[in-house]
Amino acid sequence: MQKIILTGDRPTGRLHVGHYVGSLRRRVELQNSGDFDEIYIMIADAQALTDNAENPGKVRENILEVALDYLAAGLDPAKSTLFIQSQIPELTELTFYYMNLVTVARLQRNPTVKTELQMRHFDGGGVPVGFFTYPISQASDITAFKATVVPVGEDQEPMLEQCREIVRKFNSVYGETLVEPEIMLPDNAACLRLPGIDGKAKMSKSLGNCIYLAEEPEDIKKKVMSMFTDPDHLRVEDPGKTEGNPVFIYLEAFARPEYFAEFCPDYRNLDEMKAHYERGGLGDVKVKKFLNNCLQAELEPIRKRRQEYQKDLGYVVDVLKKGSEVAKKKAAETLADVKRAMRIDYFDDQELIRSQAAKYQG
């Protein structure tokens, strides 16, 4: 069987380092591994509109920002198809048919939908139907490309489960047609859920606790130096906690082994640094300076590449346009398979006239 990746992001802002360690860095590695037959990376603007109906400008403005972040991070249009969700109408059509395979009760039980419904109030106007059904649309995104692997963050687990249920249901009702995808989560706990610089569970633009992928060097430094650490670690000689300490969680995600020799030769690796912090005698400033060096080293090439692409937005649009054409072709093939399986391909169905005619030829 072919190995196919599909994944994507909602374009509601620039991507931050949480996106990077949680998914983007992995995608680039998978892309360069050569292990996959096809890779699709989608800018999920239609999904973003499900809770931004009154603010389409925000979505529109961020399409190129996200595309720039993709290219800057190392996604290569020669190896990965980058495309825009709304430009593939086949996805909407698939959603309409899948909707008949999912109950309202099942959507209400989807944990991600549930928390999102609790968090948002939709300005007192109630929950848009489109928002409520976005897990079904996400199943269309995944199955349209016959994806076998979906690299995403942990918060997307319920979406994948719902997608797999739709696939099983479709195949059992209409015959083996769709492919069941596997989720691929980050392998390191720090990458699974990188906290904000304030230690809050999630990095999010609205909380103002993000470090962006293309952040300027001085701003990276300022943010790192202001990060939360162990609140009981007051004096250098005090023993400190590394568990749950944002600075150490970031180091888990970013400190490559070679950075110790380069920036902090007092320690050979993170375990040694942690041990010193835990027994006391290692100050926060020193740890933060090291983290700043790691982040600067990691983000500099990304920022530089982004600056180059920023000068040529025509090229970026062209990448998305060509990618959307490729994606559309693939999605159309799957839609045709789906319609054939459901036997709603009437004009290609010779059997339709024959069986109906038999009724009238007594």
Q: Which residues bind ligand TRP (CB under 6 A)?
A: 6-10, 44, 47, 138, 141-142, 150, 152, 156
C-alpha to C-alpha distance for 69 and 83, rounded to whole angstroms: 14
Q: Rounded to a whole number, what is the distance in angstroms from the first to the last CA of the chain?
A: 48
> Under 8 Å CB-to-CB from 200, ≥6 apart: which residues?
207, 209
- Nearer residue to ligand TRP within complex by CB, 23 or 229: 23
- Nearer residue to ligand TRP within complex by CB, 49 or 152: 152
- Nearer residue to ligand TRP within complex by CB, 74 or 158: 158
Q: How far is the CB of 30 from ligand TRP (least distance, A)?
A: 14
- Nearer residue to ligand TRP within complex by CB, 143 or 209: 143
Q: How far is the CB of 196 from ligand TRP (least distance, A)?
A: 17
Q: How far is the CB of 45 from ligand TRP (least distance, A)?
A: 10
- Nearer residue to ligand TRP within complex by CB, 80 or 242: 80
Q: How far is the CB of 232 from ligand TRP (least distance, A)?
A: 35
3-class secondary-structure state, position 331: helix
Q: How many CA atoms lie within 13 A of 295 on its CB side?
A: 30
Q: How far is the CB of 37 from ligand TRP (least distance, A)?
A: 18
Q: Contact, 142 vs 85, CB < 8 A? A: no
> Under 8 Å CB-to-CB from 232, ≥6 apart: which residues?
238, 240, 241
- Nearer residue to ligand TRP within complex by CB, 6 or 178: 6
Q: How far is the CB of 153 from ligand TRP (least distance, A)?
A: 7
> Under 8 Å CB-to-CB from 261, ≥6 apart: which residues?
none
C-alpha to C-alpha distance for 195 and 252, rounded to whole angstroms: 12
- Nearer residue to ligand TRP within complex by CB, 151 or 240: 151
Q: How far is the CB of 23 from ligand TRP (least distance, A)?
A: 8
Q: Contact, 78 vs 159, CB < 8 A? A: no
Q: How far is the CB of 265 from ligand TRP (least distance, A)?
A: 39
C-alpha to C-alpha distance for 190 and 244, rounded to whole angstroms: 10
Q: How far is the CB of 137 from ligand TRP (least distance, A)?
A: 7
Q: Contact, 250 vs 211, CB < 8 A? A: no
C-alpha to C-alpha distance for 77 and 146, rounded to whole angstroms: 20
Instruction: Point out the residue whose Cβ comes nearest to ligand TRP.
Output: 44
- Nearer residue to ligand TRP within complex by CB, 80 or 229: 80
Residue 46's φ and ψ, nearest 5 degrees, are -65, -40
Pick from 96, 15, 161: nearest CA to 41: 15
**Cβ atoms within 10 Å, residue 120:** 11
- Nearer residue to ligand TRP within complex by CB, 6 or 203: 6
Q: In what order do the strands lie in the sheet with 4-9?
A: 81-84, 38-43, 4-9, 149-151, 182-184
C-alpha to C-alpha distance for 82 and 322, rounded to whole angstroms: 8
